[in-house]
Amino acid sequence: MALLLIGGGTLAAVNLFGGGSGDAGEPQVAADPVTFPQDEPAAADGAGPCTTLNVLSSFENAEMVQELANGYNAQPRDVEGACVDVVATKDKSGISAEDAAEGFPDLTDAERPAVWIPDAASWLSVARDAGAGDIVPESGTTVGASDIVLAMPEPLADAIGWDEDAPTWDEVFTASEDVQLWADLGHPEWGGFQLGKTSPVVASSGEASMLVSYGSASGSVADLSVAEVEDEAVTQTVREHELAVSHYMATPEHFLWHARQAEARGGSAAEFLSAVIVDEKSVWDYNRGIVSRDGVTRVEDEPPAEKLVAIYPTDGFYVADNPAVVLTGPWVSEAQQAAAADFIRYAGTEQGQQIVRDYGYRDLNGVLSDEVAEVGNLEPAPVGVLPFPGQDVIVAVHEAFPDVRKRANVLFLIDVSGSMDDVLESGQTRLEGAKDAITLALDHFAAGDDVGLAAFSSGGDGVMIPGLVSPVQDIGDSREEFLAALDGLEAVAYTPLYEAVDTFSRDQSQAYDPSRINAIVLLSDGTNNTAVPTTTEDEMLATLDEVSHTLLVFTLAYGADADVEALQAISGATGAHYYDATDPLEVEDVLGDLVTSF
């Protein structure tokens, strides 16, 4: 058997890696290794114009898919008499699933994908449940795999002993709820146990983290059912698990970038996280010095002093299995279907599988390259592979997340300086665009989330106005008040950025609630500018340092005139994230991405 087939979001041939379906007790090595066939390119390219094959990947597997496209395009291809040009694109898994359900409405027929390679088969289930059953097939063909593991900085893994004796998921969650854990192990400087998770609505590692949380709470990670997901006692345990989350992020790279920044400041990655649930590929990238501030743009730096260790919990772990599916939308021509089949065939050849291994993934025999395993601190043949559960369980966990996630205590802090009256290409003013984006983002929050609104500008007298316009309170009761206050905001004059951040970060820190994600979401389109002297940048940063253990300040640069450097410094000072909407027409998407942190 040369390829791993996926059926209905569930692995149908897990024995490729040595275990039976649902069996978490076997090593991830093929009992009878597959001999990969050699690629057989055409003698010459087929006739033009070439068939364009758009291949959509996730952010996590985008490099591998791009290189597979490059490898395929590098050789002559003749598919049904035509040459082929593979074009790789990428988006977050959850966003792609939503777009597929709507037929990729923002793209033209020429831009829509014919092949989708999410980084896990579970997203096929999500897309089909959302209405993409006539576009997304039930099954796909795995091109490579990356186990979803618990990653810890080496000193922390050593201190707790998990580098030598892997825990169960229940032991992981129990440790994460023990605020004295590191102090009792002789390391009070590491603070509480900080568990990092991506959002399960957009990332496979976040989805896997919710599945193991429910599995642990119900008594079996390997055998999770819809009834257990809906059980109130299980649900309450999962809510308690989520309290250990510092905050959610859109991609694993977001967390790992902050861990690296903590080390770069002369400290330890432990200042930002104790452990994070990520795929092996991300661990390998981190350990070799690849970082990404935004989850999209990747930068190569020196390897970290404190490398991560991949830990494989003994009761099983899920696998990002990268299934390639040929979409069946009306925009996919017969020529594209044929080209898609040939591209997927190439991925399973020796040449394609070499790319898979070179880019940090396990090949279709479950084998990592020796270098990747060594640098990544990855197990060559870990025991405990779990298939993703069926569509009904995946959908039940997605639907349950808004109820069990850690609640928010968040203040939107909006720049209403005079430049917010500038008109965008859309015909709206910047302020109108920001109001629309915040209104949409508010839909992410539900009853039980405390959300408020403040805005800042000043006139010639230097007094900051209007200040707090909707108190931080349960948005289930105050949504109309919040929206009315938002609608009433008007642009004024100056930009007392430093004073606003200093003032409201102090206020929000005083309202710290350890059972919530305590944060400010700052949107600004300019640089600090006041009529009279006020808070300095150094004073503001000193305040942020004081409150950094109780408050996150997320920043969003809105428009080309935003002070990107200052906004990055503000977010970085509290371990939160900076978001780029310097193209102001993207503010709705960027702010929507930001609020997945809650």
Report the Cα 314 to chain-centroid distance in Å. Answer: 25
Best CA proximity match to 215, nearest among 144, 148, 310, 120: 148
**556 and 484 belong to one structural domain:** yes
Say how far apart CA 573 and CA 553 lie, in whole Å: 8
Are 113 and 65 within one domain? yes
Amino acid at the residue 309: V
Q: Does 554 reside within a domain?
A: yes
The reported pLDDT for the residue numbered 221 is 92
**Does residue 446 have a pLDDT over 70?**
yes
List the structure tokens of 153: 């900085």
CB burial readout 376-386, b (16+ within 10 A) else e: bbbbebbbbbb
SS3 per-residue string spanning 15-78: HHHCCCCCCCCCECCCCCCCCCCCCCCCCCCCEEEEEEEEEEECCCCHHHHHHHHHHHHCCCCC
Residues 461, 584 share a domain:
yes
Distance CA 366, CA 18 (A): 9
Q: Same domain, yes or no, for 360 and 419?
A: no
186 and 154 share a domain?
A: yes
Given a cut of 60, whether residue 23 has pLDDT beyond it is: no
Q: What are phi and psi of 232, to 5 degrees?
A: -65, -35
Give me the domain span that covers residue 135.
5-145+321-367
Which carries the bigger pLDDT value, residue 33 or residue 435?
A: 435
Same domain, 440 and 559: yes
AA letter at 453: L
% of the chain at pLDDT higher than 70: 94
Neighbours of 363 (CB within 10 A): 24
What is the Cα–Cα distance from 489 to 491, expressed in whole angstroms?
7
Write out the two tokens for 156. Answer: 């922390």
CA within 13 Å, CB half, 164: 5
The reply to whether 514 falls in a domain is yes
Considering the domain architecture, whether residues 13 and 119 belong to the same structural domain is answered as: yes
Please report the DSSP string for 256-290 in residue order: HHHHHHHHHTTS-GGGT-SEEEEEHHHHHHHHTTE
What average pLDDT does the structure give for the chain?
Answer: 90
- pTM, two decimals, is 0.86
Q: 13 pLDDT exceeds 90?
A: no
What is the CATH classification number for the domain harbouring 223? 3.40.190
Q: Do residues 566 and 544 lie in contact, with contact meaning Cβ atoms separated by under 8 Å?
A: no
Q: Does the residue 23 lie in any domain?
A: yes
At 154, is the secondary structure helix, strand, or coil? helix
On whether the CB atoms of residues 472 and 411 are closer than 8 A, the answer is yes
**Does residue 108 sit in the same domain as residue 247?**
no
Pick left, alpha or beta for residue 322 (phi over 0 → left; psi -120 to 50 → alpha; otherwise beta). left
Q: How many residues does the chain have?
A: 598
Cross-strand pairs, 517 = 408
User: pLDDT, tens digit, for every residue of 207-226?
Assistant: 999 999 999 999 999 999 99
Looking at the fold, whether 355 and 299 belong to one and the same domain comes out as: no
Residue 260, both tokens: 């690296």
Longest distance between any two alpha carbons in the chain, whole Å = 79
Q: What is the dihedral of CA 363, 369, 370, 375, to 10 degrees?
A: -110
Q: What are phi and psi of 13, to 5 degrees?
A: -145, 55
135 and 182, same structural domain? no
Where residue 543 sits, what CATH number does that domain have?
Answer: 3.40.50.410
CA separation for the pair 225, 308 (Å, rounded): 33
Nearest to 9, CA basis, from 68, 103, 91, 93: 93
Tokens 């593979």 belong to residue: 86
Q: Which two tokens stand for residue 18?
A: 């040595």
pLDDT tier for residue 139 given thresholds of 50, 70 and 90: confident
Q: Would you say residue 497 lies in a domain?
A: yes
- Reported as a pLDDT band with limits 50, 70 and 90, residue 594 is confident
What is the Cα gyration radius of the chain? 24
- Is the CB of residue 410 less than 8 Å from the CB of residue 438? no
In the predicted model, is pLDDT for residue 15 greater than 50?
A: no
Here the tokens at position 485 are: 């206050």
pLDDT of 28 > 80? The answer is no
Of the candidates 250, 257, 149, 146, the one whose C-alpha atom is nearest the C-alpha of residue 202 is: 250
Residues 327 and 200 placed together within one structural domain of the fold: no
Between 26 and 583, residue with greater pLDDT: 583
Number of domains the chain is built from = 3
Mean pLDDT of 64-91: 97
Q: Which pLDDT does position 295 carry in this prediction?
A: 62
DSSP sequence for 439-489: HHHGGG--TT-EEEEEEEEE-TT--EEEEEEEEEEEHHHHHHHHHHHHHT-
Task: Name the amino acid, one letter, at 284.
Answer: W
| Residue 447 contacts residue 407 (beta carbons within 8 Å) | no
The Cα 433–Cα 558 span in angstroms is 10
Residues 141, 169 share a domain? no
Residues 6 or more apart whose CB falls under 8 angstroms from that of 381 comprise: 27, 28, 29, 366
How many Å apart are CA 281 and CA 285, to the nearest integer? 6
pLDDT at 97 over 90: yes
Cβ neighbour number for residue 471 with a 10 Å cutoff:
15
Tell me the DSSP string of 188-213: GGG-S--EEEE-TTT-HHHHHHHHHH
Q: Report the C-alpha gap between 7 and 128 in whole angstroms.
A: 12
> Is 200 among the domain residues?
yes
**Over the stretch 151-187, which tens digit does the pLDDT of each residue have?**
999 999 999 999 999 999 999 999 998 989 999 999 9
Say if 16 falls within a structural domain: yes
Average pLDDT over residues 296-301: 77
Q: What is the DSSP string of 505-573?
A: HHHHHHT--TTEEEEEEEEESS--B-SS----HHHHHHHHHHHTTT-EEEEEEESTTS-HHHHHHHHHH
Per-residue tokens: 451: 């959300």
pLDDT band at 597 (very low <50, low <70, confident <90, very high): confident
Residue type, 355: I
Average pLDDT over residues 133-160: 95
- The DSSP call for residue 242 is H
Burial degree of 177 (CB within 10 A; 0-12, 13-18, 19+): middle
Percentage, residues of the chain above pLDDT 90: 77
Please check whether residue 407 is in contact with residue 516, taking contact to mean a CB–CB distance below 8 angstroms: yes
